Amino acid sequence: MSLTSTRADGAQIVTVNAERIDAAMAIQFKEDMRAETEDGTDRIILDLSLVQFIDSSGLGAIVAAMKQLGRDRRLDLAGPTPMVEKVFRLTRMDTIFNLYSTLNEAVTETKT
């Protein structure tokens, strides 16, 4: 799958360039996240705005990506589309992650 990274105001923005994070790509996603965030900022913003669909395997992979960062680094989520937002809300994972409706809001948070 395709992840791209940029830096903004002390955070690393990782964009998921895929329409779905599902069972077929969950393991790849977790490995790519590890490679992408191996060294870098303490705060990582995962830009999900292109992801139209996520299943429980994809959700598990995002949780795994957060856990492999360790306690001193943080994974925030930005731009969830309606179905992605719904899966996070139903599983109550929206209480574990900081979810920002847009990438801009997530980045602005870094400055304050």
**Contact (CB, 8 A) for 69 and 42:** no
Which residues inside 16-45 make contact with another protein, applying CB under 8 A?
20, 22-24
Nearer to another protein, 50 or 83 (CB): 83
User: Greatest CA span in the chain, whole angstroms?
Assistant: 38
**Residue bearing tokens 């690393």:** 12
Among residues 3, 47, 6, which one has the least CA distance to residue 25?
A: 3
User: Does residue 109 interact with another protein by CB under 8 A?
Assistant: no
Which residues inside 42-71 make contact with another protein, applying CB under 8 A?
53, 55-57, 59-61, 63-64, 66-67, 71
Part of the chain binding another protein (CB under 8 A), chosen from 4-12, 39-47, 80-88, 99-107:
80-88
What is the distance between the alpha carbons of residues 39 and 102, in angstroms, rounded to a whole number? Answer: 25
Nearer to another protein, 20 or 106 (CB): 20
Among residues 81, 29, 36, 33, which one has the least CA distance to residue 57?
A: 29
Binding positions for another protein, rule: CB under 8 A? 20, 22-24, 53, 55-57, 59-61, 63-64, 66-67, 71, 82-83, 86-87, 90-93, 95-96
